[in-house]
Amino acid sequence: MSHPLLEKDLLSTCVHCGFCLEVCPTYRLTGDENNSPRGRLRLWREEAAGRLARDPETDFYTSECVGCLACEPVCPAGVAYGDILEQTRHEHVSAGRFHPKPELRLAAQAVRYPALFNAALAPARALRSLGFFPHPLIFPGRPHVTESTAAYARRLMMLHKPTGPRVALLTGCLMEAMFREINFATVRVLIDNNIQVVIPDEQGCCGAFHEHTGLDGVDELREQNRRAFLPLAVDAAVSNSAGCGLALKKTLAPDMPVRDVLEFLGEIGIKAREPRGGRVYVDLPCHLVHGQRSPGIPAAVLDATGYQWELAPCAKDCCGSGGIYNIQKPKNAREILAKKSAFLNEAEGDPIILATSNHVCMMQWNSAKSLVKRPFRVAHVIQLLDPNCRPSK
Amino acid sequence: MTPPINAVVAALHRAAPGSRVMMSPAQMAGYESDGLGYKSFRPDLVVIPSDADELAQVVRVLHDARVPICLRGAGTSLSGGPVAAQGGAIVHTSKLRAIREISLDGFWCEVESGVNLRQLDEALQPSGLCYPPDPSSGPVCTIGGNVASNAGGAHCFRYGVTSNYVLGLEVVLLDGSTHRFGGPAGGNGPWLEDWKRLMIGSEGTLGAFTRFWLRLTPRPEKVWTFRATYPDLQSTERAIHGLVRHPAFPVAIELMDPRAVALVETSSMAVGLPKGHFLIVTEIDGPAALVDLRVESVAEVLRSAGSADVLFSDKAEDRENLFKARKAMGGLLGQVSPDFLVQDAVIPKRALANLLQLIYDEADRAGVPAVTVMHAGDGNLHPNFLFDSRIPEEVKKVEGISKRLMQRVVEVGGALSGEHGIGNDKSAYMPMVFGPESMHLQLAIPQIFNPRHQFNPMKVFTERRFVA
Ligand SMILES: Cc1cc2nc3c(=O)[nH]c(=O)nc-3n(C[C@H](O)[C@H](O)[C@H](O)COP(=O)(O)OP(=O)(O)OC[C@H]3O[C@@H](n4cnc5c(N)ncnc54)[C@H](O)[C@@H]3O)c2cc1C
Ligand code: SF4
Ligand code: SF4
């Protein structure tokens, strides 16, 4: 027993029942068992045990995994697939068996220095706020170019002096640098519901980016966030991105509860907006329902948006975003999205809004605009609850 | 002489250009086992045909090249069926997933062999129809695998197993020719009638199924679920006996032994069952007015047999809770043990005490944990032996116990398999059940369809070895 995964006995927990096959997007796409959770686990185990030589196909199938974690909740044996994948990815990147794209490597470095990253993306924010969206993954929105979410939250707290529960908000790296308007909306909704918002200054990227790519840096980022969050006297840490929320949960457990902001709002009860026209189709992020094992976005919260809403068909299935999957494996990601978004062509309602609760899923859905033959908008559910603004057109 | 593998691959590409052909060692590793994960056989080739026509071409090429051919659906078999026991090619039906027709007035559907049970159920839901066989692997297992192993499930006590629902099937024979046995009308006629029956349960040894016509039934209007525990085997047997004779004709009668109950109760899935007790879960279904009328008398059967805690409900959520302990079992085995081997004997109900005692004695002597569940209505006994396949002595112990258990099953007049099939796991026990004449007759059938045992060699009968 020399391989670390064998020593921890993680790989031997799979009893090969096959229950994970049908939930796996890459198995459904290819019909190839090697491209399924059971197949990947078998390949890793055989190699770790010395029964299979290092093989480029093992590297390929490892790289194919979206990391959606749909295979975890259906597994009767409780295989910790996400942990095993994370370790294996990291090992493959370190050994040069997997090469994250250069832009992802660069971004992984950059997000370790939030101030720099925010400054570097100021021009992109400026372009977005002027209504210019140069890339299919960049969805429309009007972020503030200069004021940070932390400064904004302090300003609003002084103004409204909420007295309810106190939460620490994770502002994220890409969310803050590029899609800051969602953070602003989150602060507004929380404060409008009498919740006190604290934004720890020393917080860093949640590390999910590094987990997905297998690049170094996860441990340092987790440590940084433990230092930033744990000393705070708050009822919970909250996140407005399912993927970042999952990473923060792993970071702060068991010392501080981490909640998805919509779940948190669902529990304390939330002000409803006026009824509005249009139809909202809600897609559930994988890292919310599979990763965090949440039952979904609370119905009471969706009702409070004032929109008529329903879950998108197969709402719990992956949209192909997978954090960085749509950049690393654009062809697969697009095929997954094409199947998933086809319903919008026939969907009832006008206008239609596709709403979810993770910015990287929003990016992926935005790129479906070239697949779907009618216009639709992409929004974060928190934006639909925002007292100030309606989702951008 | 068998041609070199590269020539076979080239011929496959020519004959079936839309299909995937794989042969790297890592790609073979993913296909080396089924649900009996500890036994592995690495194939030389894996082919994923793009459709039924290409599947026929693939079979023809492999036949000509004298390569063993093993069909695979979802690979959930628990008996070592869809594995390349003698090397050769795995033909995976994962791309044959079309539900081609649902006939509302004919009460049948036409599906390809790689369609899985959940997919079919979702497609049938709006119509109010259902396909009753319900193996617990339903979320993944394919109709092809179900027909090849004549799968059963908890509710097959009343509804019957897969063979009761196959109206017809299409099969590719060894030379690549396609044949139909039966069809939507069931294939009536004096001679044709049950040719299809020969194919059902043939475990991939006679041909490759490509599509099926399946009989459908109306979805039951209402279901009641009952749960009761019993302090001893005598009262448990009284309850089973009472249920099978009850005019309400329960759809399922599921049993867990005290060791299985203890496993659930010491886990996070605990539901508060009393220690050392047997558990029975049973269901009745049908038109609401009718089943509502029968609830009390079924509860009375359970009580009068000696249960002090009979619970029942018709509410979906409560019903799920009542079934929870039974449904949690499969997963719990995986959580507490790296491997488990489940046996699948069918026994006369009167022999239950005899066999449970043997299981306990053997398991305790060997220090191997064993938990037993049973489709009690059908006498289909599933003892699960927990072990670690990385420790050779444990494998030996478990295989030894299985063999002695099977010997006893045969002595009491039982059968080797109720639903999982023989595969390569139980093939060595066949001569214990069948005498030389019966074996000879059974082996005469593959002689016609598959004379050299090129389809799924080394399965069902150990003498089925392919000689190129
Ligand atoms: C957790 C768990 C629970 C289970 N519960 C049940 C249960 O309740 N009842 C039950 O009956 N079984 C059960 N099983 C066993 C298994 O699911 C069934 O045997 C199922 O029918 C296998 O279907 P499959 O698609 O996985 O077929 P596979 O495992 O791929 O193959 C099974 C056999 O069918 C042959 N085959 C597959 N496709 C074709 C084809 N197209 N043409 C010809 N031959 C073919 C294969 O060669 C093999 O011999 C369970 C298994 C697991 C892992
Ligand atoms: S994480 Fe998603 S893509 Fe990866 S194996 Fe699991 S289900 Fe498949
Ligand atoms: S569901 Fe879990 S135990 Fe079953 S094959 Fe998949 S990973 Fe293994």
ipTM for the complex shown: 0.93
Chain B residues near residue A51 by CB distance under 8 angstroms: 29
CA distances from A269 to A46, A192, A293, B276 (A): 50, 12, 21, 45
Name the CA radius of gyration of chain A, rounded.
21
Q: Which pLDDT value is given to residue A9?
A: 74
Among B46, B62, B76, which is best to mutate for testing ligand 1, by the most ligand atoms less than 8 A from CB?
B76
B443 alpha carbon – ligand 2 mean position (Å): 43
Angle at Cα B8 formed by Cα B7 and Cα B14, nearest 5°?
Answer: 90
The stretch B76-88 carries a mean pLDDT of: 96
Mean pLDDT in residue range B151-169: 94
Residue A7, C-beta contacts closer than 8 angstroms, at least 6 positions apart: A1
Strands A352-356 and A279-282, by their bridges, are parallel
Domain B337-430 adopts which CATH fold?
Answer: Alpha-Beta Plaits (3.30.70)
Residue type, B149: S
Residue-wise pLDDT for A133-184, tens only, equals: 889 999 999 999 999 999 999 999 999 999 999 999 999 999 999 999 999 9
Residue B246's nearest CA partner among B291, B212, B200 is: B291
Average pLDDT over residues B177-190: 80
DSSP string, A75-92: -TT---HHHHHHHHHHHH
Q: Which residue has the tokens 């042969």?
A: B23
Report the 10 Å Cβ neighbour count for A282: 22
Integer Cα distance of A31 and A46 in angstroms: 21
CA of A79 to the centre of ligand 3 (A): 7
Q: What percent of chain B has pLDDT over 70?
A: 98
Is the C-beta atom of A37 inside 6 A of ligand 2? yes
| CA atoms within a 13 Å half-sphere pointing along the CA-CB vector of A196 | 14
> Cβ separation of A57 and B27 shorter than 8 Å?
yes
B35 closest CB neighbour out of A9, A16, A58: A16
Q: What's the one-letter identity of residue A59?
A: D
CB pairs under 8 A between A and B: 114
Q: Is the dihedral of CA A255, A256, A260, A263 positive or negative?
A: positive
Contact across the interface for A32 and B94, Cβ inside 8 Å: yes
- Determine the pLDDT at residue A76: 86
Residue B127: what are its φ and ψ, rounded to 5°?
Answer: -85, -10
Nearest to B143 by CA among B158, B123, B157, B126: B123
Kindly write down the DSSP assignment for every residue of B185-250, as one continuous string: T---STTTTTHHHHHTT-TTSS-EEEEEEEE-EEPPSEEEEEEEEESSHHHHHHHHHHHHT-TT--
- Name the residue in chain B with its Cα closest to that of A75: B331
Q: How confident is residue B56, by pLDDT bands cut at 50, 70 and 90? A: very high
Structure-token pair, residue A192? 């409008």
pLDDT tier at B334, thresholds 50, 70, 90: confident
**A25 C-beta closer than 6 A to ligand 2:** yes
Q: What is the pLDDT of residue A322?
A: 87
Positive or negative torsion for Cα A128, A133, A136, A141: positive
Does residue A11 contact residue A5 with C-beta atoms inside 8 Å? yes
Residues A370-390, mean pLDDT to the nearest whole number: 91
Q: Specify the pLDDT at position B189.
A: 56
Mean pLDDT of A25-42: 97
Say what angle helices B352-366 and B233-244 make with each other, to 10 degrees.
140
Q: pLDDT tier at A389 (50, 70, 90 boundaries)?
A: low
Ligand 2 site, residue A70, Cβ cutoff 6 A: yes
Per-residue pLDDT of B197-235, as tens digits, reads 899 999 999 999 999 999 999 999 999 999 999 999 999
Contact B26 A13 (CB under 8 A): no
Ligand 2 lined by A179 (C-beta under 6 Å): no
Nearest CA in chain A to B118: A22
* Average pLDDT over every residue of A31-55: 96
What are the residues facing B87 on neighbouring strands?
B85
Which atom of ligand 2 is the closest one to the Cα of A69? 1
> In the predicted model, what is the mean pLDDT of residues B434-448?
92
Question: Residue B425: how many CA atoms within 13 Å on its side-chain side?
Answer: 31
Query: For A182-196, how does the pLDDT look when each residue is reduced to its tens digit (9 = 90+)?
Result: 999 999 999 999 999
DSSP label at residue B160: -
Domain extent listing, chain B: 99-218, 222-329, 337-430
| pLDDT computed for residue A391 by the predictor | 41
Alpha carbons A296 and A304: distance in angstroms, whole number: 15
Q: Per-residue pLDDT averaged across B409-435, rounded?
A: 92
The mean pLDDT of chain B is 94
Q: Which residues lie with the beta carbon below 6 Å from any ligand 1 atom?
A: A 17-18; B 34-35, 70-78, 81-82, 93, 113, 135-137, 141-142, 144-146, 148-149, 151-153, 203-204, 208-209, 330, 419-421, 456
Chain A residues near residue B26 by CB distance under 8 angstroms:
34, 43, 47, 52, 55-58, 61
Encoded tokens for B315: 């509410």
Q: Which of B37, B95, B333 sits opposite A16 (nearest CB)?
A: B37
Whether residue A13 and residue B338 make contact (CB cut-off 8 A), yes or no, is: yes
Give me chain A's average pLDDT, please: 93
pLDDT over threshold 70, residue A16: yes
Q: Which residues pair with A379 in a beta bridge?
A: A355
3-state DSSP call for residue A145? coil
- Rg (C-alpha) for chain B, rounded Å, is 23
C-beta atoms surrounding A182 within 10 Å: 27
pLDDT of residue B149: 97
The pLDDT of residue B355 is 95
Beta strand residue intervals within A187-317, DSSP E: 196-198, 236-239, 258-260, 279-282, 308-311
- Indicate if the pLDDT at residue A2 is higher than 90: no
Domains of chain A, first to last: 4-94 (1.10.1060.10), 104-267 (no CATH), 272-384 (3.40.50)
The DSSP output letter for A23 is: G
Bridge partners (DSSP) listed for residue A380 = A356
Average pLDDT, stretch A42-69? 95
Here the tokens at position A56 are 């480029």
The CATH number that domain B99-218 falls under is 3.30.465.10
Mean pLDDT confidence for B117-134: 96
Q: Do domains B222-329 and B337-430 have the same CATH topology?
A: yes
Among the partner residues A16, A22, A76, nearest to B330 by beta-carbon distance: A76
Confidence check: pLDDT of B392 > 70: yes
Given CA atoms B448, B451, B455, B456 in this order, what sign does their dihedral have? Answer: positive
Contacts of B370 (CB under 8 A, 6+ apart): B259, B359, B360, B362, B363, B383, B384, B385, B386, B401
The predicted-structure confidence for A291-331, as pLDDT tens digits, reads as follows: 999 999 999 999 999 999 999 999 999 999 988 899 899 99
Burial class (CB in 10 A: 0-12, 13-18, 19+), A200: buried
The percentage of chain B sitting over the pLDDT mark of 90, rounded to a whole number, equals 87
In terms of CATH architecture, what is B222-329? 2-Layer Sandwich (3.30)
Nearest to A17 among B119, B334, B388 (CB): B334
Q: How far is it, in rounded angstroms, from Cα A357 to Cα A383?
A: 10
What is the arithmetic mean of pLDDT over A330-345? 96
Yes or no: say if A171 and A199 are a contact pair by the CB < 8 Å rule: yes
CA distance A159 to A154: 9
Does pLDDT of A393 surpass 50? Answer: no
Percent of chain A with pLDDT over 70: 97
